[in-house]
Amino acid sequence: MSEVEAAVRRLQAGDRLALTPLYHLHAESAIRTAYLITRNKATAEDAVHEAFVQVIRTISSLRDPAAFRPWFYRIVINAAKRLSRRRWFAPAFMAPEASPEEKVIGTEEIEAVQAALADLPALHREVLILRYYADLSEAEIAEALGIAAGTVKSRLHRAKEALEARLRSREGGWRR
Amino acid sequence: MTDERTIKAALEREARQMKLPPDQLTRIERQADAPARPGLWVRVEVVAAVLILAVMLGLAGWRAWSTAPSTFVQEPPTVPVVPEGPEPGPPPSTECLSAPLTAGDKASEVSLFFTCSGDSFDAPPRAVTRPVSFGGDPIRTALEELLKGPTGDEQARGFASFFHAGSAGMLKSVTVTDEGRAIVDFADIRQPLNNASTSAGSKQFLQELGQTLFQFAAVKEAEFRIEGSCDGFWQWLQSSCQVITAERYRADVTQGTGRQVIGCDATPTQKALFARADLRSIPWIHATPADAGITGHLFASPDGVATTYVGPGRPDGASNKVLWLVSHPGAGSELAVSGTNMTTGETYHEVFPSSAAGEFPSIIALPAPGCWKLELTTGAVTGRAVFAALREIDFALQVRVAGREPTLGPIAGARVSMKEIGLSQVTDGRGMAGPMTVPLSSIERFPYDLEVSADGYKTCVIQFGSMVFPGTGRWWEESPYFLFVYLPEGEGTVGSDGCYGGRTQPQTPGP
């Protein structure tokens, strides 16, 4: 039994202390995922806060404790999307320090992809975030978004095509 | 096609901008412990019951409803709104309603603002009305009650807050300057309220604090301090010393109706909250500074700003009665009211004996219209308030044509009207109208529009105040105020922006 599964079972049994490991294991990844979706720090904080409140209140409805991760991401994504609809904000961009990965790939290329990602429709961006940032499997994404596994596959494919199209259009634009 | 590693790196690059705020677990658990909202169908039933109840009570009459024992109390309950779109997010809660007050005659009530645990985080806090014993400074009382956090009963009704029993008693002082700046000094609240310093937390914390403080119309801005240090307070909230203003935080639940008297920054009235139980239907004001503990209950004033009528009362017989209540222990056996007309310098002075400890019934009979600054002194206590003194307005008007020398020549079809009060007159051949009288009953609706038009010219709309025209002469003997209105060239009807030169003028001696 994984650490997460054990914690979920304890929480379901009423042991509130079990929230602590769940929080420490998932909060950072969740808040960054929420940030990628909302592109607003305060909204991301609020979304994750609300998600954990909902975890406490509704954990008993989770039938398979091993499926906590997609179940939790579903709550986070819903909260993030709902809160973003109520707020207007201008996304701030702050160039962070390059990671070792970026140094290998090249900052310029990553920046171009980042800009193209920002341009994508929410539906496409969301599925890419869950797959490549949150590292959810296609089955887990299906669970988190409440859609069929086949839909996830096709949506991922279309999202990557859309990303590619935007990158091409940007290159074209620069050349002109 | 872009490889997955690059997509991942791009997403991680953006995500690195977001840091996990300090441990939120305590706050999460506290909110989760507040009662959960009922299920959808239960909510629907509750809403239906509330609507039916509201209709029945509406038929029985609002006043009867508001004084009868009620399940919910004073304000009509909020009907939840179904969230837009297909997302299954929680709808606004039907919880967090105020409880019935059972305060006795001499008791009072105060409003505090707490977060409703069923609301999302960007929702403003909601008002909790709490009975308190009457006396003392209302602002201080409200903040002291806020710092105690929600009571067990309030928590059971869904209210949550950063404030809790551990922060009770940590208000050191609150003073309000004549300019309306509240300086609120706390003891070191950083430890008991440690979760309030995060980004989302500080927003909620300031909302609760700000709305509680700015419900008092006398407070226009606020400076918060910890142990006397503004920097100490704001550094705790990861910011720097600043003054917050009422516009951002004021909830509209306790403000007056916004009625104003042009040209006089009169003391704003409050609605009944914090008034003594037997005075709840009377608009009241809070003299400055707040720690003088002087409140005035204005029996003849409309809601909005402190208003009185020239002489002892209104023509309809209502007197300018003001009951002054002084909670400060230094209050004496009589209250001296000294006034100065802020335009003419004319003065007023009257002394009123107390009818009971700290109670001073008075008739404020100001001798002339205008804006009056009153100084209220009893024993060692002094407070100040500004009153607008009104009387029926007689005025005359001459319509002129913009761009020409003032002329007494014919201006065809010139008319003047105040549609709100049904006042209308056609000018004579020289463009003159008057005298006209604006009755007192309409003064309570100030300001309103004076519309002037003439054949071939644009309609001119000017905002008409009350006693703001300080002229001393007479055009017509019976008309204390005289207006020139300049009509702009061109056909058609336009709003106030087309009113070229339309403005009030000091009176000019007539020919």
* Residues A81-108: tens digit of each pLDDT: 877 665 433 233 333 455 666 666 677 7
- Mean pLDDT, all residues of chain A: 80
- Which phi and psi angles does B341 have, rounded to 5°? -70, 120
- Model pLDDT for residues A110-151, shown as the tens digit of each residue: 888 888 888 888 888 889 999 998 889 999 999 888 888 888
Nearest-CA distance B71 → chain A (Å): 28
Which residue ranges make up each domain of chain A? 1-87, 98-176
Residues of chain B neighbouring A52 (CB-CB closer than 8 A): 24, 28, 32
| Residue in B closest to A25 by C-alpha | B20
DSSP state for residue B288 in the 8-state scheme = B
Residue pairs between chains A and B whose CB atoms are closer than 8 Å: 133
Nearest-CA distance A176 → chain B (Å): 22
pLDDT above 70 covers what percent of chain A? 84
Residue type, B430: R
The residues near A34 (Cβ < 8 Å, ≥ 6 apart) are A43, A44, A47, A48, A76, A77, A79, A80
Residues of chain A neighbouring B7 (CB-CB closer than 8 A): 113, 117, 128, 132, 160, 163
DSSP state for residue B21 in the 8-state scheme = P
Q: Decide if B448 contacts B442 (C-beta within 8 A).
A: yes
Q: Write the CA distances from A51 to A26, A39, A41, A74, integer angstroms.
A: 11, 17, 15, 9
H-helix or E-strand containing A32?
A: helix A19-38
Q: Write the CA distances from B133 to A35, A128, A136, B323, B327, integer angstroms.
A: 48, 60, 58, 19, 12
Selected for mutation to probe chain A from B11, B93, B205 (highest A CB count within 10 Å) is B11
Nearest-CA distance B91 → chain A (Å): 11
Q: Write the CA distances from B35 to A48, A61, B117, B160, B195, integer angstroms.
A: 20, 17, 8, 10, 21
Alpha carbon distance B368, B473 (integer Å): 15
> Class of A98-176 per CATH?
mainly alpha
Cross-chain Cβ contact B12/A99 below 8 Å: yes
Alpha carbon distance B351, B155 (integer Å): 48
Cross-chain Cβ contact A36/B14 below 8 Å: yes
Half-sphere exposure of B213 (CA within 13 A, CB side): 29
Residue-level pLDDT at B81: 29
Q: Write the CA distances from B51 to A107, B45, B47, B69, B93, integer angstroms.
A: 60, 10, 6, 17, 15
The residues near A94 (Cβ < 8 Å, ≥ 6 apart) are B17
Residues of chain A neighbouring B115 (CB-CB closer than 8 A): none
Q: Which CATH number fits domain A1-87: 3.30.750.24, 3.40.50.2300, 3.40.50.300, 1.10.1740.10?
A: 1.10.1740.10
Torsion of the alpha carbons at A35, A38, A42 and A44, rounded to the nearest 10? -50
Nearest-CA distance A67 → chain B (Å): 20
- In chain B, the N- to C-terminal Cα span, in Å, equals 90
Nearest-CA distance B331 → chain A (Å): 49
- Which phi and psi angles does B198 have, rounded to 5°? -75, 170
ipTM > 0.85 for the complex: no
Of A41, A98, A110, the CB nearest to B6: A110
H-helix or E-strand containing B382?
A: strand B381-390
3-state secondary structure B289-325: CHHHCEEEEECCCCCCECEEECCCECCCCCECEEEEE
The residues near B366 (Cβ < 8 Å, ≥ 6 apart) are B308, B310, B320, B339, B341, B348, B372, B387, B389
Alpha carbon distance B329, B324 (integer Å): 14
Selected for mutation to probe chain A from B24, B28, B117, B237 (highest A CB count within 10 Å) is B28
Report the candidate in B252, B497, B468, B292 with the shortest Cα–Cα distance to residue B382: B292
Cross-chain Cβ contact B24/A101 below 8 Å: no
Taken in order B311, B314, B316, B322, the sign of the CA dihedral is negative
Report the candidate in A14, A32, A40, A55 with the shortest Cα–Cα distance to residue B12: A32
Supply A91's token pair.
Answer: 């996304």
Sheet-wide strand order for B432-438? B432-438, B393-401, B481-487, B503-504
Alpha carbon distance B428, B410 (integer Å): 8
Residue-level pLDDT at B255: 36
| Residue in A closest to B24 by C-alpha | A49
Q: Which residues in B have their CB inside 8 Å of a CB on A?
A: 1-2, 4-18, 20-21, 24-25, 27-29, 31-32, 36, 83-85, 87-89, 120-122, 198-200, 203
Q: Decide if A30 contacts B18 (C-beta within 8 A).
A: no
DSSP state for residue A129 in the 8-state scheme = I
H-helix or E-strand containing B67?
A: helix B62-67
Nearest-CA distance A24 → chain B (Å): 9
Sheet-wide strand order for B321-326? B284-286, B294-298, B321-326, B359-363
Cross-chain Cβ contact B11/A53 below 8 Å: no
Residues of chain A neighbouring B24 (CB-CB closer than 8 A): 23, 27, 49, 52
Task: Classify residue B61 as left (phi > 0), alpha (psi -120 to 50) or beta.
Answer: left
Of B32, B36, B120, the CB nearest to A83: B120
Supply A42's token pair.
Answer: 């305060």
Task: Give the rounded distance of the alpha carbon of B62 from its chain centre.
Answer: 23
Cross-chain Cβ contact B10/A99 below 8 Å: no
The burial of B422, by beta-carbon neighbours within 10 Å (0-12 exposed, 13-18 middle, 19 or more buried), is given as exposed
Alpha carbon distance B112, B114 (integer Å): 7
Cross-chain Cβ contact A44/B18 below 8 Å: yes
Write down the residue that tokens 């009755």 correspond to.
B439
Q: Note the residue count of chain B.
A: 511
What is the three-class DSSP state of B110? strand
Report the candidate in B262, B285, B263, B281 with the shortest Cα–Cα distance to residue B272: B281
The residues near B161 (Cβ < 8 Å, ≥ 6 apart) are B114, B115, B146, B149, B150, B208
Residues of chain B neighbouring A83 (CB-CB closer than 8 A): 120-122
Residue type, B81: V
Alpha carbon distance B456, B453 (integer Å): 9
Half-sphere exposure of B238 (CA within 13 A, CB side): 12
Q: Which domains does chain B have, with CATH numbers?
A: 103-254 (no CATH), 277-390 (2.60.40.10), 393-504 (2.60.40.1120)
Nearest-CA distance B46 → chain A (Å): 21
Average pLDDT per 10 consecutive residues for chain B, totaling 511 residues: 83 81 70 52 38 42 30 27 33 48 50 77 73 73 91 83 89 86 92 76 84 81 92 85 76 40 71 64 81 84 78 72 89 95 86 92 87 92 88 71 56 81 82 74 63 77 52 42 64 43 35 28
Q: Decide if A22 contacts A11 (C-beta within 8 A).
A: yes
Cross-chain Cβ contact A82/B5 below 8 Å: no
Alpha carbon distance B46, B392 (integer Å): 50
Selected for mutation to probe chain B from A78, A110, A137 (highest B CB count within 10 Å) is A110
Nearest-CA distance A104 → chain B (Å): 10
**Pairing assessment for the beta strands B294-298 and B181-186 based on DSSP bridges:** unpaired
Kindly report each contact of residues A63-68 with a partner whose C-beta sits within 8 Å and lies 24 or more positions away, as own/partner: A65/A4, A65/A5, A65/A8, A65/A9, A65/A12, A66/A2, A66/A4, A66/A5, A67/A143, A68/A4, A68/A5, A68/A8, A68/A22
